[in-house]
Amino acid sequence: MTLRSVILGTGSALPRRRVDNAELATMVDTSDEWIVERTGIRTRYVAGEGESTTTLAAEASRHALEMAGLQAAGIDLIILATATPDQTFPASATTVQAALGINDCIAFDVAAVCSGFLYAMTVADNMLRGGAGKTALVIGAETFSRILDWEDRTTCVLFGDGAGAAVLRAEETPAEGGRGILASKLHADGRHNGLLHVDGGPSSTGTVGKVRMKGQDVFRHAVVNLAQVMKEVLDVAGLSTSDIDWVVPHQANARILDATARKLGLDPAQVVVTVDRHANTSAASVPLALDTAVRDGRIKQGDLVVLEAMGGGFTWGACVLRY
Ligand code: UT7
């Protein structure tokens, strides 16, 4: 038997307001045709009054706890991945902790932008297996709408708001064929900071800043890095692409999803796609897509699932698990 972190439940949450491409075309010089053809995005959700990164994160967490059949008091560790915290401090994870009524557990944020959920899962997995606790709540939550330049058509059409969560528990599982996280691999290369960044911050400009991206450069790096890291993580787990049941990728662009699947020789039907509905929700995109495929019955217990993401930093990573 081997101690592994097993996903007991998933959950997600979206803001009330859905915005389609036609609405954006009334705000900037763009069209439904351009957005669909270049990105695959048709709609995204935008947070309104009373909605924030932590309200969405708390709602997603409640759904995940419900699926896991656990009370919030049973959580030992909360890791929240976000680039859009409610405040600079305290960590948004502690706001979620309070909203869930948990009086004492470990709680902190992780900042790895679109790869944030992969980073948070990997940290949680290592902490659980290291004995820091038995049960973790891992969340990816964002309100990118609050850091978009709504006059910049090259970025404002691409992103959306939302949250996804997973409950992980350390369990002894059979070494062969057992459930849980089998391997993770993370990377960062800060030389590419300038290709995708926010042009502000508390210690630089003293302002919140807006998202800036050189899309074509990011696209090129994404396809190469994602295919590479997926191969790497499968190697570490002693598996090959033919063993994979599902890929749950970061949802940035339908063309990146297709190109990565092709590079690995995967059937596009094995790739969970939600970018058409949610757009790019940064750290929330992988857990939102995971929850979608679990709840619609595609991902079943025992399936081999690969999660992958790449984003600002650059940061990127992949994780292979038996659901
Ligand atoms: O989540 C983190 C990771 N992020 C990503 O992975 C994003 C990766 N990049 C991409 O998904 C794509 O590069 C974009 C969707 C951002 C852009 O697609 P593209 O095919 O690379 O377009 P482009 O940047 O080369 O722009 C082509 C043209 C340009 O016009 P000209 O210079 O050819 O006249 C742009 O100005 O499309 C124009 N354009 C637009 N037109 C209508 C850019 N944005 C828009 C727009 N509507 N919203």
| pLDDT tens for each residue of 59-88 | 999 999 999 999 999 999 999 999 999 999
Active-site annotation holder among 114, 156, 197, 225: 114
Q: Give me the pLDDT at residue 175, please.
A: 94
Mutate to test the pocket of ligand 1, among 113, 219, 308 (most ligand atoms within 8 A of CB): 219
Q: Is 221 exposed, middle or buried (0-12, 13-18, 19+ CB in 10 A)?
A: middle
CB 190 within 8 A of CB 84: no
**Whole-angstrom distance, CA of residue 249 vs CA of residue 3:** 26
Does the active-site annotation cover 21?
no
Does the active-site annotation cover 193?
no
Residue 306 has pLDDT above 90, yes or no: yes
Active-site annotation holder among 21, 225, 280, 319: 280
**Whole-angstrom distance, CA of residue 108 vs CA of residue 85:** 11
User: In the predicted model, what is the mean pLDDT of the chain?
Assistant: 97
The mean pLDDT value for 273-301 works out to 98
Q: Give me the pLDDT at residue 64, please.
A: 98
Q: Is 307 exposed, middle or buried (0-12, 13-18, 19+ CB in 10 A)?
A: buried
Mutate to test the pocket of ligand 1, among 19, 82, 154 (most ligand atoms within 8 A of CB): 154
CB 248 within 8 A of CB 272: yes
**Whole-angstrom distance, CA of residue 300 vs CA of residue 302:** 6
Candidates 153, 148, 159, 157; CA nearest to 208 is 148
Can you give the pTM of this predicted structure?
0.98
How many C-beta atoms lie closer than 10 Å to residue 153's C-beta? 17
**Whole-angstrom distance, CA of residue 69 vs CA of residue 63:** 10
Residue 295 has pLDDT above 90, yes or no: yes
For ligand 1, atom 3, name the residue with the nearest CA.
Answer: 311
The mean pLDDT value for 121-131 works out to 98
For ligand 1, atom 11, name the residue with the nearest CA.
Answer: 253
Q: Give me the pLDDT at residue 136, please.
A: 98
The model's pLDDT over 202-223, given as tens digits with 9 standing for 90+, comes to 999 999 999 999 999 999 999 9
Residue 24 has pLDDT above 90, yes or no: yes
Q: Fill in the DSSP letter of residue 293.
A: H
Instruction: Label residue 102 by pLDDT band (50, 70, 90).
Output: very high
How many C-beta atoms lie closer than 10 Å to residue 17's C-beta? 15
Triad 206, 216, 190: Cα angle to 5°: 50
Q: Give me the pLDDT at residue 98, please.
A: 98
Residue 188 has pLDDT above 90, yes or no: yes
Q: Give me the pLDDT at residue 263, please.
A: 87
The model's pLDDT over 211-256, given as tens digits with 9 standing for 90+, comes to 999 999 999 999 999 999 999 999 999 999 999 999 999 999 999 9
% of the chain surpassing 70 pLDDT: 100
Q: How far is the CA of 111 from the centre of ligand 1 (A)?
A: 25
Q: How far is the CA of 101 from the centre of ligand 1 (A)?
A: 43
Candidates 260, 323, 317; CA nearest to 294 is 323
